[in-house]
Amino acid sequence: MNLKNLFAYLQERFPPVNMALFAVLFGTVYSVARYFWSSYTPAPFGLREVGGMVAVITFFFRLRVFDEIKDYDLDAINHPQRVLQSGRVNLRQLFTLAVAGGVWELAWSVWSGWPTVVCWVLAVGYSLLMRYEFFVGAFLKKRLLLYAITHMLIMPLVIAWVWSAYTPDFGLSRPLYLLAALSLLGGFAFEIARKLHTPAAERPLVDSYSKTMGYAGAIGAVLLVLTGSVLVQRLLLTDLRSPNLPFVLIGLLYAATLVLYGLALARPAEKTLKLGELLVSLSMLVSYVCVIGVVL
């Protein structure tokens, strides 16, 4: 495998910013677990935590590879210039890397204890169902919103996987449920935002939520899910006895997102929607960083 081509692929389809976000996701779960179960995880951040970050990153990389396998033929038509579609890397090479990542995830899970192994197996099992589109691909592809919901449910399973490594007996409790909801809603808001286009920018062979729900309906869906995420974030920060600053930061970012999408409704423009996608992703990142900051 040519490393230059591999790095080009990662920059295009799984860039460092994505890896950093998944590392922050791990840090968020770890921080909240330590806050509520400090007697169970007394050791400071160390090698096991670094290994956990890598494991979470490789898990999401495998999801990317699964998507590449599913969408290869269509992407060859719509995006022939991509690194994978142009032949600079191939699916077999990516799948080999994904399998290697899975071995590392299993090793880290074993290191962390049998509840973590159980949660990892559940998450991997669900991801395999996603890979084969729950064996009803034709049905789901005609219902983009249902397709997205079924696939976003992987997020709570990943949260539970990491959480189980730092809490006794799976640690089923309110903080886990809030973290799971936060990851689900934040990820879902971003998923809708990144597949939202003005009517003039829609492409015949490319699915979008604005096609499925209408332009205004898709914007409304982004804001509705984002509002749910903000409310969950408020509950979690309250449980963590957060000072006022994180509430202010999240509130300002939320207000800016509302204003921006209001402008997008009044004057549809792809640039405005791209900025909205950036604000939604920033909201997700800030929500995680605020949790880590409060605990530290």
Q: Are residues 13 and 46 in the same domain?
A: yes
Contacts of residue 52, Cβ cutoff 8 Å, sequence gap at least 6? 26, 30, 108, 112, 162, 165
Instruction: Name the one residue in this structure whose structure tokens are 């970012």.
Output: 253
Residue where a domain stops, chosen among 168, 183, 218: 168
Same domain, 246 and 189: yes
Shared domain for 109 and 241, answered yes or no, is no
pLDDT for 41 beyond 80: no
Query: Which pLDDT band holds residue 139 (cuts at 50, 70, 90)?
Result: very high
Whichever domain contains 32, its CATH number is 1.10.357.140
81 and 199 share one domain: no
Q: How many CA atoms lie within 13 A of 240 on its CB side?
A: 30
Please state, in angstroms and as integers, the Cα–Cα distance from residue 8 to each residue in 21, 53, 194, following that order.
19, 22, 22
What is the number of other CB atoms lying within 10 angstroms of the CB of residue 242? 18
- Percentage, residues of the chain above pLDDT 90: 90
Q: Examine the domain organization and report whether 4 and 126 are in the same domain.
A: yes
pLDDT digits (tens, 9 = 90+) for 256-274: 999 999 999 999 999 999 9
Q: Which residue has the tokens 């499925």?
A: 212
Residues 111, 118 contacting (CB under 8 angstroms): no
Say yes or no: 116 and 215 in one domain: no
| Residues 255 and 152 occupy one common structural domain | no
Taking 70 as the threshold, does the pLDDT of residue 42 lie above it?
no
CATH at residue 292 = 1.20.120
44 falls in which pLDDT band (50, 70, 90)?
Answer: confident
Quick check: 73 pLDDT over 80? yes
The Cα 180–Cα 29 span in angstroms is 9
Residues 150, 267 share a domain = no
284-292 average pLDDT score: 96
Residue 248, pLDDT score: 97
Q: Which of 116, 134, 168 is the last residue of a domain?
A: 168
Q: Determine the pLDDT at residue 110.
A: 98
Task: Say how far apart CA 76 and CA 70 lie, in whole Å.
Answer: 12
What is the Cβ-side half-sphere exposure of residue 188, based on CA atoms within 13 angstroms? 30
Structure tokens at 288: 């995680």
Q: What pLDDT was estimated at residue 207? A: 87
The residue out of 135, 152, 168 marking a domain boundary is 168
Convert the pLDDT of each residue in 50-60 to its tens digit.
999 999 999 99
Token digits for 286? 């800030």
Give the separation between CA 225 and CA 221, rounded to whole angstroms: 6
Residues 164, 188 share a domain: no
pLDDT at 43 over 80: no
- CA nearest 158: which of 243, 6, 55? 55
pLDDT the model gives residue 38: 83
Total number of domains in the chain = 2
Amino acid (one-letter) located at 91:
L
Cα–Cα distance, 260 to 267 (Å, whole number): 10
Q: Please compute the mean of the pLDDT values over residues 215-224 and round it to a whole number.
A: 97
Q: What pTM was computed for the model?
A: 0.94
Residue with tokens 């749910």: 228
- What number is the average pLDDT over the span 116-122? 98
* Separation between Cα atoms, residue 134 and residue 268, nearest integer Å: 36
Q: What percent of the chain has pLDDT over 70?
A: 100
Tell me, what's the pLDDT at 78? 87
- Which tokens go with 80? 């022939």
Q: 164 and 177: one domain?
A: no
Q: Are residues 183 and 151 in the same domain?
A: no
User: 272 is in which domain, residue-wise?
Assistant: 173-296
Residues 142 and 177 in one domain: no
pLDDT at 128 over 90: yes
What CA–CA distance (Å, rounded) separates 99 from 191? 26
- Mean of the per-residue pLDDT values of the chain: 95
**pLDDT tens digit string along 152-210?**
999 999 999 999 999 998 889 999 999 999 999 999 999 999 999 999 999 887 889 99
**Mean pLDDT across the stretch 5-25?**
95
Please identify which residue in the block is written with the tokens 């770890």.
30
pLDDT for residue 45: 85
Kindly state the average pLDDT of the residues 60-78. 94
